[in-house]
């Protein structure tokens, strides 16, 4: 039997256009890019523009121009999630038809009053699982998170993660009552659509990954390999000195920011400091070692992690 051919690496960067590219997203862009390039992989670009109230006009273009100025080169066209609404809706219908999702008419206040704790705040008490309040207006759609086994996966950076989504998170919203589709749903649908098999992103999303894997199970979609990069702390986090935290991700001075992001990802200093962007990319791609990336997730513990 001939040895099985390895799947070609397909990675991505998926910013939300809620503002200009900041240092934290530069770290995610750099880690996902270097990991893809050093594995001869593709690096696709997806603009997660599905939440207009949180978006800034012009931010999507601004992010793309900044990435270009930094020397990032994505493969193919940018996928805009705003153009994918019909597919998300179809997916919701499918989940509902298969009894994996249901309409929910509960208000935020009602959910809060149930005082059920989850690791992301209040957990939904399941009131509408049986259609109790589905006659109300402006219904949201929730995923029925009941699943026979815990969700378990091995993150390339953070190790084993195991979660019972029903206990830790509860039935979560996949379509909001204002009609907008939730990030979890859109990300899963589009990771599959784009053929992504390697997801490299910030550790703030480690907590979302079991939910995404659960959705993949319900939709019969493949589960990519995940790697969650350390989070750049916010100002109160004080893990980076003020000087670095404030480092502007300015199109005019890409090299210092790239060097700082590279160092933040645990990569050793170059023997000779790159004098140009081209030198940086050559050296960084040649030296990238994902095993050196530290695990730091603010969202531990999940139900179990090790």
> Binding site for L-glutamate: residue ranges?
12-16, 48, 183, 201
CB of 11 to ligand GLU, least distance (A): 10
- Report 223-252 residues binding ligand GLU (CB under 6 A): none
Q: Select from 9, 16, 104, 224 the one that contacts ligand GLU (CB under 6 A).
A: 16
- The residue among 272, 270, 262, 271 whose CA lies nearest residue 293 is 262
Spatial contact of 103 and 131, defined as CB atoms under 8 Å apart:
yes
Q: Work out whether 201 is an interface residue with ligand GLU (CB under 6 A).
A: yes
Q: How far is the CB of 186 from ligand GLU (least distance, A)?
A: 9
Q: Phi first, then psi: what are they for 193, rounded to 5°?
A: -60, -40
The per-residue b/e assignment along 252-276, b for 16 or more CB within 10 angstroms, e otherwise, is eebbebbbbbbebbbbeeeeeebee
Report d(CA 142, CA 171) in Å as an integer: 6
**For residues 283 and 271, what is the distance between their CA atoms, to the nearest angstrom?**
10
Beta carbons of 219 and 188 less than 8 angstroms apart: yes
In angstroms, the CA 50 to CA 149 distance is 31
> Is 14 a residue that touches ligand GLU (CB under 6 A)?
yes
Longest dimension (CA), the chain: 67
Is 187 a residue that touches ligand GLU (CB under 6 A)? yes
* List of long-range contacts for 240-249, beta carbons under 8 Å, 24+ apart: 240/264, 244/23, 245/23, 247/23, 249/20, 249/21, 249/22, 249/23, 249/26, 249/66
Count of residues of this chain found to bind ligand GLU when the rule CB under 6 A is applied: 7
Output the smallest distance, CB 196 to ligand GLU, in A. Answer: 9
Phi, psi dihedrals of residue 47, rounded to the nearest 5°: -95, 115
Which member of 35, 48, 166, 171 binds ligand GLU (CB under 6 A)? 48
Binding residues: 12-16, 48, 104, 106, 124, 128, 183, 201, 242
Query: Quick check: 41 binds ligand GLU (CB under 6 A)?
Result: no
35 binds ligand GLU (CB under 6 A): no
- Is residue 205 involved in binding ligand GLU (CB under 6 A)? yes
For position 84 contacting ligand GLU by CB under 6 A, the verdict is: no
Closer residue to ligand GLU (CB): 54 or 263: 54
Return the residue of 9, 10, 11, 15 that touches ligand GLU, per CB under 6 A.
15
Tokens of 67: 């990435």
Minimum CB distance to ligand GLU, residue 16 (Å): 4
Q: Does 173 bind ligand GLU (CB under 6 A)?
A: no
Residues in binding site for Zn(2+): 104, 106, 124, 128
Closest CB to ligand GLU among 190 and 260?
190
CB of 202 to ligand GLU, least distance (A): 6
Interacting span for ligand GLU (CB under 6 A) from 14-22, 104-112, 235-243, 250-258: 14-22
Task: Give the CB-nearest residue to ligand GLU.
Answer: 201
Q: Applying CB under 6 A, which part among 10-18, 69-77, 89-97, 141-149 lies near ligand GLU?
A: 10-18
User: What are the residues binding ligand GLU (CB under 6 A)?
Assistant: 14-16, 48, 187, 201, 205
């Amino acid at each position: 039997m001939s040895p099985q051919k390895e799947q070609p690496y397909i990675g991505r960067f998926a910013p939300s256009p809620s503002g200009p590219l900041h240092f934290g997203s530069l770290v995610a862009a750099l880690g996902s890019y270097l990991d893809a390039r050093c594995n001869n992989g593709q690096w696709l670009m997806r603009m997660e523009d599905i939440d207009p109230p949180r978006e800034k006009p012009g931010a999507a273009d601004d992010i793309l121009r900044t990435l270009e100025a930094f020397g990032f080169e994505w493969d193919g066209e940018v996928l805009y999630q705003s153009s994918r609404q019909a597919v998300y809706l179809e997916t919701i219908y499918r989940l509902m038809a298969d009894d994996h999702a249901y309409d929910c008419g509960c208000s935020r206040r009602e959910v809060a009053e149930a005082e059920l704790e989850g690791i992301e705040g209040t957990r939904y008490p399941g009131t509408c699982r049986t259609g109790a309040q589905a006659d109300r207006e402006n219904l949201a759609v929730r995923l029925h998170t009941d699943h026979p086994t815990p969700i378990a996966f091995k993150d390339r950076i953070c190790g084993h993660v195991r979660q019972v989504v029903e206990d830790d998170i509860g039935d979560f919203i996949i379509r909001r009552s204002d009609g907008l589709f939730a990030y979890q749903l859109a990300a899963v649908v589009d990771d599959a659509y784009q053929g992504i098999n390697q997801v490299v992103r910030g550790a703030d999303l480690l907590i979302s990954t079991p939910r995404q894997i659960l959705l993949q199970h319900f939709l019969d979609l493949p589960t990519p390999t995940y790697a969650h990069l350390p989070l750049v702390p916010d100002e109160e986090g004080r893990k980076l000195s003020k000087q670095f935290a404030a480092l502007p991700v300015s199109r005019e001075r890409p090299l210092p920011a790239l060097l700082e992001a590279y160092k933040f990802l645990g990569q050793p200093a170059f023997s000779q400091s790159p004098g140009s962007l081209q030198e940086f990319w050559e050296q960084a791609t040649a030296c990238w070692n994902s095993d050196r990336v530290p695990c730091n997730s603010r969202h531990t513990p999940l139900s179990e992690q090790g």
